[in-house]
Amino acid sequence: MALEALIFDFDGTLLDTETPEYAHFLELYREYGLTLRLEDWQSAVGTWDAFDVWEPFRHLGASELERLQARHQSTLMAHLADLDLRPGVRTVLEQAKAKGLKLAIASSSSQEWVGGFLERHGLMDTFDALATRWEVEKVKPNPALYLLALEKLGLKPENALALEDSLNGFKAAVGAGLLCVVTPHAVTASLPFPASAPRLETLEGGLTVLEGIYTDFYSRE
What are 6-60's pLDDT values in tens digits? Answer: 999 999 999 999 999 999 999 999 999 999 999 999 999 999 888 999 999 999 9
- Please give, one letter per residue, the 3-state secondary structure of the chain: CCCCEEEECCECCCECCHHHHHHHHHHHHHHCCCCCCHHHHHHHCCCCCCCCCCHHHHHHCHHHHHHHHHHHHHHHHHHHCCCCCCCCHHHHHHHHHHCCCEEEEECCCCHHHHHHHHHHCCCCCCCCEEECHHHCCCCCCCCHHHHHHHHHHCCCHHHEEEEECCHHHHHHHHHCCCEEEECCCCCCCCCCCCCCCCECCCCCCCHHHHHHHHHHHHHCC
Stretch 113-125: mean pLDDT: 95
User: Are 44 and 94 in a shared domain?
Assistant: no
- How many domains would you assign to the chain? 2
User: Are 168 and 72 in a shared domain?
Assistant: no
pLDDT band at 221 (very low <50, low <70, confident <90, very high): low
Handedness of CA 96, 97, 100, 101 (dihedral sign): positive
User: Are 105 and 154 in a shared domain?
Assistant: yes
User: Are 74 and 98 in a shared domain?
Assistant: no
Catalytic residue check, 40: no
Q: Is the pLDDT of residue 82 over 90?
A: no
Q: Per the residue annotation, which of 9, 52, 125, 165 is the catalytic one? A: 9
Stretch 103-107: mean pLDDT: 98
> Within 10 A of 75 (CB to CB), how many other CB atoms are there?
14
pLDDT band at 104 (very low <50, low <70, confident <90, very high): very high
User: Are 70 and 133 in a shared domain?
Assistant: no
User: Are 10 and 101 in a shared domain?
Assistant: yes
User: Are 75 and 136 in a shared domain?
Assistant: no
User: Are 167 and 135 in a shared domain?
Assistant: yes
Counting every residue, how long is the chain? 221
CATH of the domain at 9: 3.40.50.1000
Q: Per the residue annotation, which of 11, 49, 125, 128 is the catalytic one? A: 11
Catalytic residue check, 9: yes
Domain boundary among 80, 102, 133: 80
Domain boundary among 80, 102, 120: 80
| pLDDT value for 157 | 98
| pLDDT value for 48 | 87
| pLDDT value for 2 | 93
Distance of CA 17 to the CA centre of its chain: 9
User: Are 104 and 196 in a shared domain?
Assistant: yes
Stretch 117-137: mean pLDDT: 96
User: Are 133 and 24 in a shared domain?
Assistant: no
User: Are 114 and 40 in a shared domain?
Assistant: no
Domain boundary among 26, 51, 80: 80
pLDDT tens for 171-193 read: 999 999 999 999 999 999 999 99
User: Are 163 and 199 in a shared domain?
Assistant: yes
The domain of 207 spans 5-16+84-219
| pLDDT value for 42 | 95
Radius of gyration of the chain measured on its C-alpha atoms: 18
Q: Is the pLDDT of residue 218 over 80?
A: yes
Q: Is the pLDDT of residue 99 over 70?
A: yes
